[in-house]
Amino acid sequence: MTLWYEGPLAAFDTETTGVDVEEDRIVSAAVVVQDAAGGRVRATRWLVNPGVPVPPGATEVHGLTDHHLQRNGRWPSPVMEEIARLLAEQCAAGRPLVVMNAPFDLTLLDRELRRHRASSLSRYLQNVPLCVLDPRVLDKHLDRYRKGRRTLTDLCAQYDVALEGAHDAAADATAALEVVRAVGRRYASRLERLTPAELHTLQAVWHAAQARGLQAWFARNGSQEAVDPAWPLRPELPAAAA
């Protein structure tokens, strides 16, 4: 029997105008699919003209300028529709969806769907089971006492995964997928008996515990920064009272 971390996986990643899931926009995205470990990776890519200026700091990260996006990017509405439909297709096909720091990318996609399609990610996924594997949550739970940061670059170094062209959505999605496979192999004795669906449920619990721990650390250091425990998708903020 093929173990889940050696079998079919898909992965999703975005590049954005910033880190605020409620206000920032997607400027590029990719979904990659691999049918088995070591197999060929198939990538679908999107380039988006977000309709708002791209801050210089964001351009420094991913290299996408206003000029390039205005000339080559597509309007957001059809792109968000295509992304959501493709993610739903992967879920319907039974492929676990790898998303590094899932509450960021999936929530941002949800907000873009609400903004441009008057829809939501849950509407596209209402008839298919969402099964997410988040390498950040998995690594933090399985190796909780390791010091240091846990960015995708850090995880690639930790699990000997090549990351070529960091901050390109397809490259990052592929690297995240390979990190999940590497995590599965390293912690096979703890993970191989779990199904991806069971892991999805467990990660929601683990992420909430991790969020509480980070919130307590902030409080001890005098910070009021809030940490959202929701995973893999943050609920929509309530509308402001009129």
Q: What is the pTM of this model?
A: 0.95
Q: What is the pLDDT at residue 240?
A: 42
Confidence of residue 242 (pLDDT cuts 50, 70, 90): very low
pLDDT surpasses 70 at 100: yes
pLDDT surpasses 80 at 96: yes
How far apart are alpha carbons 198 and 138 in whole angstroms?
13
How far apart are alpha carbons 64 and 73 in whole angstroms?
10
Residue type, 111: R
Across the range 204-225, mean pLDDT stands at 91
Across the range 79-87, mean pLDDT stands at 98
Domain architecture of the chain: domains with CATH: 4-220 (3.30.420.10)
How far apart are alpha carbons 137 and 141 in whole angstroms?
6
Which stretches of 17-166 are assigned E, i.e. beta strand?
A: 26-34, 41-47, 97-98, 132-133
User: What does DSSP assign to residue 241?
Assistant: P
Coil, helix or strand for 153? helix
Confidence of residue 166 (pLDDT cuts 50, 70, 90): confident
pLDDT, tens digit, 9 for 90 and up, residues 21-77 = 999 999 999 999 999 999 999 999 999 999 999 999 999 999 999 999 999 999 999
Residue type, 163: L
Q: What average pLDDT does the structure give for the chain?
A: 95
**For residue 197, how far is the Cα from the chain centroid?**
17
Contacts of 242 (CB under 8 A, 6+ apart): none
More confident residue, 219 or 237: 219
Confidence of residue 217 (pLDDT cuts 50, 70, 90): confident
Contacts of 160 (CB under 8 A, 6+ apart): 182
Q: What is the pLDDT at residue 1?
A: 67
